Amino acid sequence: MNGYMKALVFQGVQEPLLYREDYPVPTPPEGWTLVRVAYAAINRRDIWIRQGLYAGIKAPCILGSDACGYCEGQRVVINPGLFWGENPEYQSRDFRVLGMPDDGTFADYVAVPRSNIYPAPSHLDDVHAAALPLAGVTAYRALFTRGKLQPQHTVLITGIGGGVAHLAMKMAIAIGAKVYVSSSRPSYIQQAVEEGAAEGVNYRDGDWDKQLKQMCPDGFDLIIDSAGGDAFARLVRLLRYGGRLVTYGGTLGPVNGLSPQVIFWKQLNIVGSTMGSDADFQAMLELVERHRITPDVGKVFPLQQGEEAFQWAWKGGRKKTVLQIR
């Protein structure tokens, strides 16, 4: 396999993406293989890299962590976490996410380690399978591996407008947990309730935490948060004794006003989670297949319209933006 392919090339921070049809097809090293990409999904990570909000930015490079494609006759998805390593508790020093520094999925072909290839879930078409991997493994690890979610638990998932949060909600509801949500948009809360959430609060309300305390007076077993900021300390107070808060993001910045007394007296656990191990990815696929969970896709663009697709993804909220490549 050699020759040229279509690719959407990241040329640098704040630069337009360059659509090319003469990008050299990568030559996979020993232990790697080529995946023929059918569909690829845009993640926040891709957007942040383009805005310069990411460490170690390299250009030119092909972005893209998510894909559904074909490899040796099999329909596959790619685990975008490369070289997690042996320790399930944290990633190795070699760990990196597919799509910078390694060329990613916004191209006809992507080279990945063979061990990162998994059969695509059979209930998902190519478009929806492409939207699953990164958000799926992030949600799975946060909820289960780090959050230790059990069916009898009561869970709060903040910022339900986010793709990971929404997928986490679907997973938690699927196993029978009671799920509460928060959002700044009433329509997202209403939709979450239609999808099986118990209730939700608008975090623009000054008393959102009092509202949650009334809805769930015994406190939450688990809270999944990606905002941080000044709401974080109020979230911690909403945990029950022995409860866990999993943070997988910090869009609102540093945490202030956190009470050590609340943490130690209630024997709380505040733990971080990012991406997931190979075992997390495998377990995520099994859970998604068993419960026929489907990620939401907002719109599909041809690869040539990459720039429009990124605009849409930036504004589009939790529904995935997918690039059609094949």
Residue at token pair 């799926």: 136
CB 219, min distance to its own copies, A: 11
The 3 state secondary structure assigned to 184-207 is CCHHHHHHHHHCCCCEEEECCCCC
Instruction: Give the angle 76-81-85 at the CA atoms, nearest 5°.
Output: 115
Residue at token pair 């309300």: 205
Q: Is 37 helix (H, G, I), strand (E, B) or coil?
A: strand
Residue at token pair 């638990």: 153
CB 142, min distance to its own copies, A: 9
Judged by beta carbon, residue 175 or residue 258, the one nearer its own copies is 258
Judged by beta carbon, residue 19 or residue 95, the one nearer its own copies is 95
Judged by beta carbon, residue 11 or residue 251, the one nearer its own copies is 251
CB 138, min distance to its own copies, A: 10
How far apart CA 299 and CA 313 sit, in angstroms, is 9
CB 167, min distance to its own copies, A: 17
Q: Which residues of this chain interact with its own copies, rule CB under 8 A?
A: 87, 89-91, 146, 228, 232-233, 241-242, 247-250, 254-274
CB 220, min distance to its own copies, A: 14
CA 218 to chain CA centroid, Å, is 29
CB 275, min distance to its own copies, A: 9
CB atoms within 10 A of CB 148: 14
- How large is the angle between the packed helices 163-174 and 133-140, nearest 10 degrees? 60
How far apart CA 106 and CA 130 sit, in angstroms, is 11
Judged by beta carbon, residue 110 or residue 165, the one nearer its own copies is 165
What phi and psi, each to the nearest 5 degrees, are found at residue 48?
Answer: -65, -40
Judged by beta carbon, residue 146 or residue 170, the one nearer its own copies is 146
Judged by beta carbon, residue 32 or residue 232, the one nearer its own copies is 232
CB 266, min distance to its own copies, A: 7
* Torsion, Cα of 65, 66, 69, 71 (10° steps): 50
Could you tell me how many residues make up the chain? 326
Judged by beta carbon, residue 208 or residue 248, the one nearer its own copies is 248
How far apart CA 86 and CA 164 sit, in angstroms, is 25
Judged by beta carbon, residue 196 or residue 242, the one nearer its own copies is 242
CB 158, min distance to its own copies, A: 12
Q: Considering just the CA atoms, what is the radius of gyration of the chain in Å?
A: 20
